[in-house]
């Protein structure tokens, strides 16, 4: 029969474990929790193996015991997670000083993992004060917020932080998007794209909206929730279906936004060809808009799919070019049919000289490479005049029309 004490002891490090921590939290009215996570610990396991990884954890537990305040009890709760807990009243400054001392201690400490091999680890610390197991949950939220920006540091839980509000919004939109799919409230809107030479509508961009009891919600509000719920491909499929139905009896070209998740599931070619055949739409009328992170196109699977789609006649556009990690040499290698210049540059093109220089460089590159350019966020007559002056091939924006449920004419 296992002795009760063993249930509360971590067998690797011989310190108290999660069971001991949870029982301890039940009996206190106030506690300060320092959740310590070893940064990139999986790299140690991958490089040296799990046996040496375990040896590192044993040494880390000893070092935390050396560096911790006398008032704190130490627990190991996961593979590379430890908790320091005390019951004294501490100001934010005192909490920060304690965490800062721990981070600095590890920044200067080498750990010997075997003969002739020493490593140095960094730690991230989430801090929270309160009672019961909630203090541990809040410390975990703090460390997640910290790692949105950096590692090797510490963060005190703040219930009013932007990060917390974002998490709460995501939970709200997760429920909304699930309801939208269940109730078939995902709808497609269409925004015209103007040929700047003919001054006529040549194509439309197809955009997703949620109809929430008559209020139309744009993707900027629910796209992150769609990623979290695994419904991104379902969203794309819905827009493909509705768009092909809309353009079946027209001569317009139309573009559909495609995510890296869609490529990951490798369904696009079969799905698009099926709808092309069903609605008698030549694939050359369909433009697939890919977000601007050109580096993702280095993934062999994505490149293979794109090349195969192009062979079938579908055309490719790079969306929001200039906003993220623009790679001009990679762009030339990939050579898309269209490049959509990020709207943040277009809308400021008359007042911000840097935006103008960037747009001029993009246009010149595309002209020499045979890539058609599209200006997004064209919102006024003067901006449109500048776009035409720069030789941009197409324009899209509220100056012509906002996205609408029906196809507009000019």
How far apart are the C-alpha atoms of 82 and 74, rounded to whole Å?
7
Domain ranges of the chain: 4-159, 167-395
Residue recorded with tokens 């996961």 = 78
Same fold yes or no, 4-159 and 167-395: no
Alpha-helical segments (H) within 132-161:
134-146
DSSP 8-state class, residue 334: H
Looking at 3.40.50.720, 3.30.70.270, 3.40.50.2300, 1.20.1250.40, the CATH number of the domain 4-159 comes to 3.30.70.270
Q: What is the CATH number of domain 167-395?
A: 3.20.20.450
The helix (H) or strand (E) run that includes residue 304 is helix 300-311
Q: Quick one: pLDDT at residue 172?
A: 86
User: What are the pLDDT tens digits along the chain (410 aa)?
Assistant: 345 567 899 999 999 999 999 999 988 889 999 999 999 898 888 888 888 999 999 999 999 999 999 999 999 999 899 999 999 999 999 999 999 999 999 999 888 877 778 888 999 999 999 888 889 999 999 999 998 888 899 999 998 888 888 888 888 888 888 899 989 999 999 999 999 999 999 999 999 999 988 889 998 888 888 888 889 999 999 999 999 999 999 999 999 999 888 998 999 999 999 999 999 999 999 999 987 555 566 677 888 898 899 999 999 999 887 665 556 766 766 779 999 998 989 999 999 999 999 999 999 999 999 999 999 999 999 999 999 999 999 999 999 999 999 999 87
How far apart are the C-alpha atoms of 210 and 216, rounded to whole Å?
6
Pairing of strands 200-212, 253-258: parallel
Q: How far is CA 358 from CA 4, 183, 322, 380, 390, in A?
A: 68, 44, 8, 20, 12
pLDDT digits (tens, 9 = 90+) for 80-94: 999 999 999 999 999
Residue 249 CB-density burial (10 A; 0-12 exposed, 13-18 middle, 19+ buried): exposed
Length of the chain: 410
How far apart are the C-alpha atoms of 198 and 177, rounded to whole Å?
40
Q: What is the DSSP string of 209-272?
A: EEEETTEEE-HHHHHHHHHHTT-HHHHHHHHHHHHHHHHTTS--EEEEEE-HHHHHHT-HHHHH
């Amino acid at each position: 029969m296992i002795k009760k004490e063993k249930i509360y002891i971590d067998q690797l490090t011989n310190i108290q474990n999660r069971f001991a921590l949870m029982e301890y939290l039940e009996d206190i009215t106030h506690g300060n929790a320092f959740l310590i996570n070893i940064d990139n610990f999986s790299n140690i396991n991958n490089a040296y193996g799990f046996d040496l990884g375990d040896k590192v954890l044993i040494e880390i537990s000893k070092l935390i015991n050396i560096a911790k305040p006398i008032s704190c009890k130490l627990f190991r709760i996961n593979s590379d997670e430890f908790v320091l807990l005390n019951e004294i009243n501490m100001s934010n400054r005192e909490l920060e000083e304690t965490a800062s001392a721990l981070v600095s201690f590890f920044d200067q400490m080498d750990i010997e993992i075997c003969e002739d091999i020493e490593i140095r680890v960094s730690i991230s610390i989430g801090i929270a004060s309160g009672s019961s197991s909630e203090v541990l949950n809040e410390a975990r939220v703090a460390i997640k917020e910290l790692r949105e920006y950096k590692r090797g540091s510490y963060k005190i839980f703040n219930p009013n932080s932007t990060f917390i509000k974002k998490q709460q919004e995501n939970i709200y939109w997760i429920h909304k998007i699930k309801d939208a799919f269940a109730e078939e409230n995902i709808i497609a809107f269409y925004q015209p794209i103007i040929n700047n030479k003919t001054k006529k509508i040549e194509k439309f961009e197809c955009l997703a909206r949620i109809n929430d009891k008559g209020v139309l919600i744009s993707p900027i509000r629910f796209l992150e929730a769609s990623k979290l719920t695994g419904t991104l491909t379902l969203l794309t499929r819905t827009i493909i279906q509705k768009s092909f139905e809309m353009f079946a009896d027209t001569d317009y070209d139309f573009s559909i936004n495609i995510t890296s998740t869609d490529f990951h599931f490798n369904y696009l070619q079969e799905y698009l060809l099926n709808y092309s055949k069903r609605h008698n739409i030549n694939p050359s009328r369909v433009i697939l808009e890919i977000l601007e992170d050109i580096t993702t196109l280095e993934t062999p699977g994505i490149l293979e799919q794109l090349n195969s789609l192009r062979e079938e006649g579908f055309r490719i556009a790079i969306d929001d070019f200039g906003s993220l990690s623009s790679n001009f040499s990679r762009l030339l290698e990939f050579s898309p049919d269209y490049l959509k210049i990020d709207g943040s540059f277009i809308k400021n093109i008359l007042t911000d000289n840097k935006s103008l220089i960037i747009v001029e460089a993009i246009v010149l590159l595309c002209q020499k490479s045979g890539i058609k350019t599209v200006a997004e966020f064209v919102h006024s007559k003067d901006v449109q005049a500048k776009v035409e002056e720069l030789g941009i091939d197409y324009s899209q924006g509220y100056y012509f029309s906002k996205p609408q449920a029906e196809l507009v004419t000019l």
